[in-house]
Amino acid sequence: MSYVDEVIAKVIEQNPAEPEFHQAVKEVLESLRVVVDANEEAFRKDALLERIVNPERQIKFRVPWVDDKGQVQVNTGYRVQFNSAIGPYKGGLRLHPSVNLGIIKFLGFEQIFKNSLTGLPIGGGKGGSDFDPKGKSDREVMAFCQSFMTELSKYIGADTDVPAGDIGTGAREIGYMFGQYKRLKGVFEGVLTGKGLTYGGSLARTEATGYGLLYIVDEMLKCHGDTLKGKTVAVSGAGNVAIYATQKAQQLGAKVVTVSDSTGWVYDPDGIDVAALKEIKEVKRARLTEYKNYRPNSEYHDGKGVWTVKVDIALPCATQNELNLDDAKALVANGVMAVAEGANMPTTLDATEYLQKNGVYFIPGKAANAGGVATSALEMSQNSERLSWSFEEVDSKLKDIMVNLYHNIDDAAKKYGFEGNYVVGANIAGFEKVVDAMNAQGIV
Ligand code: NDP
């Protein structure tokens, strides 16, 4: 059995009931075959792949808090510190009822390579809880966040592990967590990113993941002699990534015609009204059914359906495994030319293969959505310097990072004979840097 197959089999055996983690490991290791096969003896002797797929540390803890009725609730908190070869652990905190150890491990594993691709000194980690902020009062969210941070604070720090936001963790949650960390530790340090602008946050961090996604798509199209101008785009999700992807796509001359949430989706033939979307999601925290009140020409549909619309570009920006083989077939039948992942692992493995086989340019999340964590790292730099950079400065650094990232993954794919396969390119480019750092640091 090849070393890659052996390690995949071990991961499945040793981590039962964690299908998302298996999926992420398979996707990465399969595409690294060409590199691993060429170094099989040395990698096997050093148990390099076993060390890469096993987190350095995983923490699971109880999070008790009191709801508005005086009832005690208990959630489970997680932090997986996956790999610190190139810098302090860095990765978001997801608050969603679907969170379990396998989900956090898949996200943490992906994060190692994503962070490496940014070119910045950040290791990979991820955390969160099965707590659902939806429908909770601000006081309940604060009670949860304070209890969560009381335990998490023992394991994080500005030079060790710097969490950020993710699904369900926005500015409000980061604020409550930061306040509790400061109170417990008595230090004001950049221990979290995605902070508010009045207490150490970075301008352009809110926009960064969505903007970065469009910067990389724009660069890819340019390199293929094309442009975003005049393209029709389907976006899924209506959260942080989806909103700012929509905004930047429209600034660059494309028309975004869909957004979605967990209950339904909107089709707006005139192009999504970003101001209305922001008001519904960021201010009112309401459902997308409201969108029709702002745009009578639009359609609201229950359930799933974004990928059935005829578009040139599809940007999945909601959650994992939201674009499956049937969706990929519908997109291809409608003539889609590019798919880029704003969310983490939104495309199933068979859907990815189908898109690639049918000549669709496909940029995986670890490259396409790396703008968020890259700007988080820029927030860390500003905190260390005790300075704040202007929006334009951060945005222009973000753009440079995404343009370089595109060329990095494109070059890696070409170097190994997989021209145009950005999945292989991203995995190899991310992996090589981490392996180099791990080898330099000995068996740790
Ligand atoms: P948000 O919580 O702001 O938004 C998530 C959106 O996706 C919401 O519209 C939500 O709908 C929808 N959604 C969530 N879960 C599901 C589900 N199970 N089925 C259908 N729809 C769902 O999160 P973000 O925008 O921050 O994150 C979106 C994705 O991008 C995630 O995969 C995240 O890991 C990834 N990402 C985020 C980064 C960031 O900087 N924020 C950085 C890199 C990656 P509803 O409101 O109805 O739940």
12-51: pLDDT as tens digits: 999 999 999 999 999 999 999 999 999 999 999 999 999 9
CATH homologous superfamily of 3-188 equals: Leucine Dehydrogenase, chain A, domain 1 (3.40.50.10860)
The rounded Å distance from CA 199 to ligand 1 centre is 25
326-346: pLDDT as tens digits: 999 999 999 999 999 999 999
Q: Which atom of ligand 1 lies at the shortest distance from residue 342's CA?
A: 30
Averaged pLDDT, 285-298 = 96
| Per-residue confidence (pLDDT) for residue 54, from 0 to 100 | 98
Active site residues: 126
| Per-residue confidence (pLDDT) for residue 413, from 0 to 100 | 97
Do the two domains 3-188 and 206-363 of this chain adopt the same fold? Answer: yes
358-399: pLDDT as tens digits: 999 999 999 999 999 999 999 999 999 999 999 999 999 999
Is 1.10.287.980 the CATH classification of the domain at 206-363? no
The rounded Å distance from CA 208 to ligand 1 centre is 14
Averaged pLDDT, 179-186 = 98
Q: Does residue 239's CB lie within 6 angstroms of at least one atom of ligand 1?
A: yes
pTM for the full predicted model? 0.95
Domain boundaries, the chain: 3-188, 206-363
Q: Which atom of ligand 1 lies at the shortest distance from residue 376's CA?
A: 40
| Per-residue confidence (pLDDT) for residue 147, from 0 to 100 | 99
- Which residue is associated with the tokens 């489970």? 76
Sorting pLDDT into bands at 50, 70 and 90, what band is 81? very high
Q: Does residue 308's CB lie within 6 angstroms of at least one atom of ligand 1?
A: no
